[in-house]
Amino acid sequence: MAAQKPSVPKGTRDFSPVEMVKRNFIFDTIKEVFKQYGYLPIETPAMENLSTLLGKYGEEGDKLLFKILNSGDYLSKVKSDLSEAESNKLALEISEKGLRYDLTVPFARFVVQHRNDITFPFKRYQIQPVWRADRPQKGRYREFYQCDVDVIGSDSLLNEVELIQIIDQVFQLLNINTLIKLNNRKILLGIAEMIGEPDKFIDITVAIDKLDKIGREKVNEELSAKGIDESAIEKLNPIFVLSGSNKEKLGSLREVLKDSEIGLKGIEEVETVLNYFETLEIKTELELDLTLARGLNYYTGAIIEVKAKDAEIGSICGGGRYDDLTGIFGLKDVSGVGVSFGADRIYDVMEQLDIFPKEIVASTKVMFVNFGLNEEAYCLPLVQKLRKAGINAEIFPESAKMKKQMTYANNKNIPFVVLVGENEMQEEMLTVKEMVTGDQSKMTFEQLLEKLS
RNA sequence: GUGGUUGUAGCUCAGUUGGUUAGAGCGCCGGAUUGUGGUUCCGGAGGUCGUGGGUUCGACCCCCAUCAUCCACCCCA
């Protein structure tokens, strides 16, 4: 058989040891913070029934689902005429499972399915890969990790506050400068009501979401293309040029939305959340951004998005409140709120800014050079003792040339190398070399142990 | 799904109007140094020029197709 060039599917990647160490650093810090606030881990399968997934992410989302072909002779069971079948319909006949698109919908399914074993409010975190059949590009992959934290079964705005604290803490620990953008779907709904187009709500939010990207003119064009009439668009414009502090924005909004019950509710919610941060100290800037819409359909209240200030990439964290996600699966009146950290984008930002702590790369602290059978027998117990003392240690597995062994230690960033040959064994001493400086000295094992602890 | 970019050594890239044997840096292997890596010096291996077809006396170079890649749109972490 001819050798084929090996490759991985479009938009997926292998991770080398160095990359994994850095990725784990991100996962570990995020996880640490989640635990600190009392969140518990769960996992769900990579694949879900398509019926669970379809219709939750909007029309675009459905297209981006990876579908899994049924096992066996799936074609023989197809009822529709193949030559005329629409791909979409056919897909449902030959595929009943799909790869998860996010962690929120599987979580909702999980909650409904296990409702009897869960005490509410339920605080969980979940760190797993998700898959989207998107075209890959900068900061966009087809397989990527989301780190979700959600509270379900509690309406309290305290949860929103807590999530913002978590975001603040995570990015402070990772040393990334961020801006947290906050908005509320109820405000957007109020606006849609106010201009007399409540049923065009989705179109309106999608269009205004692009405001800072394509500008007001283009947004207006898009709105009228969606069938919203000029006078309504006129009314919309003053809202998006609101400026000043968050308080000032809320003040003028309250004026504009005074006839919309839902809009006022949204304003009140945002205000409540922001008020908590008058006394609660966080480092990250919180900005009310009325153009923040978010495409996911299931959000009903607060929406949150986090941008890295010093890097050009999409949002690195996002989320919001969903009042009725579990309703679709038959459990009514259970509101949840959560955010998702995009680990891969966070990685890209940190790589770009070169802010990974240098010390995380060294995994082995000390390596013993192997000089031969006698020497390795002598060293093995010493290596074991170091490990028991919690020091990462290894011995080179064969008595290869010194150059090879030293190069190995060097490439692996091992800071200490121990040399034990005939002389050292007789003297019961070790020659210890510090790789960074190149200095080396003789010492007893006890001295080495002390040096490394 | 739409538009564009780029495919040459393990990696990053040169390569003249289309002309004989396709180059560099880094990395890798060996030696200088059989008990010393990272620095220095010397040597070496490594290429069906993405793939398939076409034009031509002759193609890395021109044309077509195809695959891959990256970027933008849509949407999103």
User: CA A131 → C1' B2, Å?
Assistant: 22
Burial of A410 (0-12, 13-18, 19+ CB in 10 A): exposed
Q: Do domains A10-174+345-361 and A362-452 have the same CATH topology?
A: no
What is A178-309's CATH topology?
BirA Bifunctional Protein; domain 2 (3.30.930)
3-state secondary structure of A79: coil
3-state secondary structure of A429: coil
pLDDT of residue A295: 64
Instruction: Dig out the tokens for A149 from the structure.
Output: 């934290």
Domain boundaries along the sequence of chain A: 10-174+345-361, 178-309, 362-452
Instruction: Dig out the tokens for A59 from the structure.
Output: 């029309």
Closest by CA to A69, choosing from A89, A85, A46, A91, is: A91
ipTM given for this complex? 0.84
End-to-end CA distance of chain A: 54
The answer to whether A34 and A88 are in contact (CB under 8 A) is no
Alpha-helical regions (H) of A297-401: 343-353, 373-388
Q: From CA A416, how far away is CA A451, in angstroms rounded?
A: 10
pLDDT of residue A83: 60
Which residues lie closer than 8 Å to A202 by C-beta, 6 or more apart?
A58, A297
Burial of A154 (0-12, 13-18, 19+ CB in 10 A): middle
Closest by CA to A187, choosing from A63, A79, A301, is: A301
User: CA A105 → C1' B22, Å?
Assistant: 55
User: CA A106 → C1' B23, Å?
Assistant: 55
User: CA A3 → C1' B21, Å?
Assistant: 28
Nucleotide in closest CA–C1' contact with A424: B35
Instruction: Dig out the tokens for A365 from the structure.
Output: 């602290």
Distances (CA, A) of A305 to A268, A390, A444: 19, 41, 56
User: CA A407 → C1' B29, Å?
Assistant: 13
User: CA A232 → C1' B37, Å?
Assistant: 72
Closest by CA to A139, choosing from A317, A304, A281, A331, is: A317
Nucleotide in closest CA–C1' contact with A430: B35
Distances (CA, A) of A373 to A105, A264, A320, A377, A386: 58, 80, 62, 6, 20
| Overall residue count recorded for chain A in this entry | 453
Protein-covered nucleotides on strand B (Cβ within 7 A):
1-3, 28-31, 33-38, 48, 50, 68-77
Distances (CA, A) of A84 to A68, A94, A391: 22, 15, 67
User: CA A308 → C1' B77, Å?
Assistant: 12
Q: What is the pairing mode between strands A67-69 and A178-184?
A: unpaired
Closest by CA to A152, choosing from A115, A192, A202, A204, is: A115
pTM of the model: 0.90
Nucleotide in closest CA–C1' contact with A214: B73
Which residues lie closer than 8 Å to A242 by C-beta, 6 or more apart?
A248, A249, A252, A253, A290
Nucleotide in closest CA–C1' contact with A315: B77
Nucleotide in closest CA–C1' contact with A399: B35
Angle at which helix A445-452 crosses helix A373-388, to 10 degrees, equals 40
The answer to whether A173 and A31 are in contact (CB under 8 A) is no
Q: What is the pairing mode between strands A416-419 and A366-368?
A: parallel
Closest by CA to A238, choosing from A227, A224, A249, A226, is: A249
pLDDT of residue A69: 87
Q: From CA A140, how far away is CA A132, in angstroms rounded?
A: 10
User: CA A406 → C1' B36, Å?
Assistant: 7
As assigned by CATH, the class of the A10-174+345-361 domain is alpha beta
Closest residue to B69 by CA to C1' distance?
A: A10
CATH number of A362-452: 3.40.50.800
User: CA A97 → C1' B62, Å?
Assistant: 49
Nucleotide in closest CA–C1' contact with A222: B74
Which DSSP symbol is given to A330?
T
For A291-313, give one letter per residue: b (16+ CB within 10 A) or e. bbbbebbbbbbbbbbbbbeebeb
Nucleotide in closest CA–C1' contact with A408: B37
| Tokens 């064994």 belong to residue | A425
Mean pLDDT by 10 residues, chain A (453 residues): 66 86 94 97 96 88 89 77 67 88 96 96 97 90 95 96 97 95 91 80 76 74 78 76 82 88 94 93 90 79 93 90 93 95 93 83 88 95 97 94 93 93 94 93 96 92
